[in-house]
Amino acid sequence: MKNQIVALALGCAALLTGCRPETSVKLERLPDGVSFVGKLDKVRYDATQKALIVKGELTMEEYNALVSMSGDFEYRKAVDRLYEWTNKEENVNRGHLRMLADPAVYQVAKQMKQNFLSGKTEATIDIYPEKTRNAVAAVLNDEARFALIIGGLKPDEWTMAQKKSAQVSRFGRDAICVVVNPKNPIEELRLSQVGEIFSGKVTNWALVGGKPMNIRLLLPHEQDGRRDYLEDTLGIKLAKAETMVTENATLEAILKDSSAVGIVGMASAKPFLNDKSPDTTKFKVLRIRANEQGATAVLPHQAYVAQSKYPLIVDIYSFFRTNLGGFPLIVSAFMHSSQKDTDGQAILMAMGLVPTRVQIQFTQSQ
């Protein structure tokens, strides 16, 4: 009788194992040297479908074993998705998230990740830079659960988001800071002049009140969503310009060339924007004046951005699926939280950006 019970139990276990659902993700090719043996035999690669497939749930131990086999970028993304999609026991301390982040807010994403994961040994977040429009499409097409984007959703994206149980929530603000060399005599620009410079219509500083020298235009990487923002907001097509991989590279180039102009976020501009002891030796942030008659030229200080007085404001949103596990909502809630000085809203404040839930006061003259 005992042997019959053991045999029945083994048979049931085998049946349940065989019935475990399979989850697959697209992968064009399996990297050399990757093989699935032993405890990893639940994973396989289908060359016909070009898909990486797992039967049942992928544990953290199995996930770590898989990613250690290859540093191939596409393979790593596929493994991330398998682990993320099959993790059924997510909670505030346990889960995995493949976060897509617009390069404009990549540093924000990194700091959020660091603070959120502090003390959590069973939680992981991997960040991949992705232009806002592409990141939105990935979330809507079931390729990702979470993205940090700028500028919100377009009407057609809103419609699809409602069908896909996707939520967008603004949790912070940044600004496009126009920066020049400290020796450049220009102190401010009208918004229309910013458009003329970045579209290539104006190519000499003398045309906007500066010295007669050709303008050296610097722009962020093509995947940076701020390029789209400038074109949409200013109604222009950006001119061909030198591409800067990082904001530090932009500032270094500007320091060496008094004719250069570029854009950075508030975090990079923070030394100059410090109202108590501004650093004016490395770069200068220009005041921007709205096109309306009587408008005042302002710097992108936190209070002015919070009050919408600065013309070039970039809103930051979390965009995530609410029907694919609980971890996306948990991470977004952290970004919106202001209960502790290590929470998301405090992170933005410390970086020099504008949180949505922390009151900002500023008394210095414009």
Residues 304 and 185 in one domain: yes
Does the pLDDT at position 305 exceed 90? yes
What pLDDT score does 90 carry? 85
Between 81 and 241, whose confidence is greater? 241
Does the pLDDT at position 361 exceed 90? no
Confidence class for position 83, pLDDT limits 50, 70, 90: confident
What's the rounded Cα separation, in Å, for the pair 8 and 2? 10
What's the rounded Cα separation, in Å, for the pair 30 and 75? 7
Residues 246 and 328 in one domain: no
Residues 56 and 101 in one domain: no
Residues 139 and 68 in one domain: no
What pLDDT score does 1 carry? 45
Residues 304 and 326 in one domain: no
Does the pLDDT at position 59 exceed 90? no
Residues 121 and 190 in one domain: no
What's the rounded Cα separation, in Å, for the pair 300 and 289? 11
Residue at a domain's end among 88, 121, 141: 88
What pLDDT score does 10 carry? 38
Does the pLDDT at position 21 exceed 90? no
For 180-220, the pLDDT digits (tens) are 999 999 999 999 999 999 999 999 999 999 999 999 999 99
Residues 181 and 268 in one domain: yes
Question: For residue 363, is it within any domain?
Answer: no
Question: For residue 3, is it within any domain?
Answer: no
Range of the domain at 65: 19-88
Closest by Cα among 189, 185, 162 to 176 = 189
Residue at a domain's end among 69, 88, 107: 88
Mean pLDDT along residues 138-151: 94
Mean pLDDT along residues 338-365: 82
Count the Cβ atoms, other than its own, within 10 Å of residue 262. Answer: 24
Does the pLDDT at position 16 exceed 50? no
Which domain CATH number covers 287?
A: 3.40.190.10
Q: What's the pTM value of the predicted model, to 2 decimals?
A: 0.83
Question: For residue 366, is it within any domain?
Answer: no
Residues 162 and 199 in one domain: no
Residues 94 and 195 in one domain: no
For 146-172, the pLDDT digits (tens) are 999 999 999 999 999 999 999 999 999
CB 182 within 8 A of CB 278: no
Does the pLDDT at position 19 exceed 70? no
Confidence class for position 177, pLDDT limits 50, 70, 90: very high
Residue 231 burial (CB < 10 Å; 0-12/13-18/19+)? middle
Comparing 56-65, 164-173, 292-301, which segment has the lowest mean pLDDT? Answer: 56-65
Residues 303 and 182 in one domain: yes
Confidence class for position 275, pLDDT limits 50, 70, 90: confident
Residue at a domain's end among 43, 60, 88: 88
Confidence class for position 8, pLDDT limits 50, 70, 90: very low
What's the rounded Cα separation, in Å, for the pair 345 and 232? 28
For 26-44, the pLDDT digits (tens) are 999 999 999 998 889 999 9
Does the pLDDT at position 13 exceed 70? no
What pLDDT score does 190 carry? 97
The total domain count for the chain is 3
Question: For residue 9, is it within any domain?
Answer: no
Q: Looking at residue 45, what DSSP letter applies?
A: E
Residues 82 and 94 in one domain: no
Question: For residue 226, is it within any domain?
Answer: yes
CB 264 within 8 A of CB 103: no
Question: For residue 263, is it within any domain?
Answer: yes
What pLDDT score does 15 carry? 40
For 91-131, the pLDDT digits (tens) are 899 889 999 999 999 999 999 999 999 999 889 999 999 99
Question: For residue 266, is it within any domain?
Answer: yes
What pLDDT score does 60 carry? 82
Between 363 and 311, whose confidence is greater? 311
Question: For residue 84, is it within any domain?
Answer: yes
One-letter identity of residue 278? P
Q: Looking at residue 216, what DSSP letter applies?
A: E
Residues 58 and 99 in one domain: no
